[in-house]
Every structure is written in C-alpha cells, then in structure tokens.
Chains A and B, each alone.
Chain A
Amino acid sequence: DTEVTQTPKHLVMGMTNKKSLKCEQHMGHRAMYWYKQKAKKPPELMFVYSYEKLSINESVPSRFSPECPNSSLLNLHLHALQPEDSALYLCASSQDPGGNTGELFFGEGSRLTVL
C-alpha cells in the first residue's frame, strides 16, 4: 500500500463552523506533513510531525489545529476560518524524518471552500 488517503475530498464550510480534515497512511512512515496550496501556486508547508510529535509549525494561525493521534493518522482541525483560507490542503508522509533522503508521498488533497 503506497497511498496517502485524505478525506473529505471536498468541504464547504461557513466561517463559524468547526470541521476536520483527515489523512491516513499505512506505509510505516514516521513523518507526516500538512501543506496548503492555492491555485497554480506551489504547496506551502504548514506543519510537520516527526515520530508523532510536532516538529515544525510554519507560523500558521491558531484557527488551524493539527493533531497526530498515532503514526498512521494526521488530522487538521478547522475553526473560525476566513474565506482566504479556501485552498487545496495536501497531506504527505515520508519514511525517514531524520535523514531526509526520502521523497514525500502526497494524498490527492482536500479542497476547502470557506463561505
């Protein structure tokens, strides 16, 4: 299994809603990532989890709250978002958080629209 699975594929939410994005991998990878991507722009790193611990938070607003319940799962909790937060949210995983020689495996993304 070489897949990173993200749910839901599409999400529409109001600015007062609370929702979550979910990501799952069963490749035994110990690093997991959240990226945000606007149309035709490069992915921007949000968070990195290494061995289930948050190792990088790229100054992301607190309305985005990541969670790594175990080595296979990564969540992104969303609350009080703004319309400019509408984007494609990509989850990725990699095998070797220490050596960094490995490629990242990306999911298909969750397309979020904030009304």
Chain B
Amino acid sequence: AQSVAQPEDQVNVAEGNPLTVKCTYSVSGNPYLFWYVQYPNRGLQFLLKYITGDNLVKGSYGFEAEFNKSQTSFHLKKPSALVSDSALYFCAVRVPNQAGTALIFGKGTTLSVSS
C-alpha cells in the first residue's frame, strides 16, 4: 500500500530561522509526492511536487523540498520562516499511472512560527 508518514505533530521555529517539516514515504515503484498547506477554516493549497528529475524541488512562497530516494524522504524546507507560515502542512502521495486514483495524505504537521 502507498503511504506517507509525518513523524512530527508540531514543529516550532522562531521567525527568521530555517524550518524543516519531515515526510517519509512508502510506495512501490516511483513515487509522485506533494506538499500542501492548510490555513484555519480554509481548503488545501498546493505548494510543490516531485514527479521526476532534480531532487530539489522549488515551490510557492519560498518553500522547497528535497527528494531522497535512499532515505525515502521528502522533507519540506524554507531558509527563513515567517509568522504567516504558521499553518497545517500535509505531505501526500499519488499512485502513478492508475487511472482515477487520488492523493493519500499524511496525518499533518502543525507549524508554529513565533515572532
């Protein structure tokens, strides 16, 4: 079965410091990996995805993620955190090349950035 795991329920970081939100995956074959952010009482916003190619993926709002096949990880990073980055972050995986499948989400990590 395809799955992703987010080992941390909450990540706390001071504004201006780098942040990392962790994600590991378990898939058969090549994974299609995604990061989404959710602000309170809102829908999910797409940040970035890894399909193939460069292991470092750049996305929206200054976020990036590094795909590491040997460690089966896809951690989300940002060099300098903002208070406005405080939100709930989800890692997700899609099953490749099977028609009509969908995203499978990790449990989510709450990011709290303090000023």
Contact = CB atoms under 8 A, between A and B. Distances in A.
B96 A42 contact: no
B108 A42 contact: yes
Given A31-B100, A48-B100, A97-B99, A40 B88 contact: yes
A103 B45 CA distance: 10
B52 to A, nearest CB: 9
Tell which of B95, B97, B100, B110 has the most Cβ of chain A within 10 Å. B100
A108 B38 CA distance: 10
A109 B41 CA distance: 8
Interface residues of B, number: 29
Interface string B28-55: 0000101010000111111001010000
Given A90-B44, A100-B96, A101-B51, A48 B101 contact: yes
Nearest to B108: A42
A45 to B, nearest CB: 5
A100 B97 contact: yes
16 contacts: A40-B108, A42-B105, A48-B101, A48-B102, A56-B101, A92-B44, A98-B97, A100-B94, A100-B96, A100-B101, A101-B51, A103-B49, A104-B46, A104-B103, A105-B46, A106-B36
Interface of A: 4, 31, 33, 40-43, 45, 48-50, 55-56, 90, 92, 97-101, 103-109, 111
Given A97-B100, A101-B32, 12 more contacts: A40-B108, A41-B108, A45-B103, A45-B104, A92-B44, A92-B103, A99-B96, A100-B32, A100-B98, A101-B94, A103-B34, A106-B36
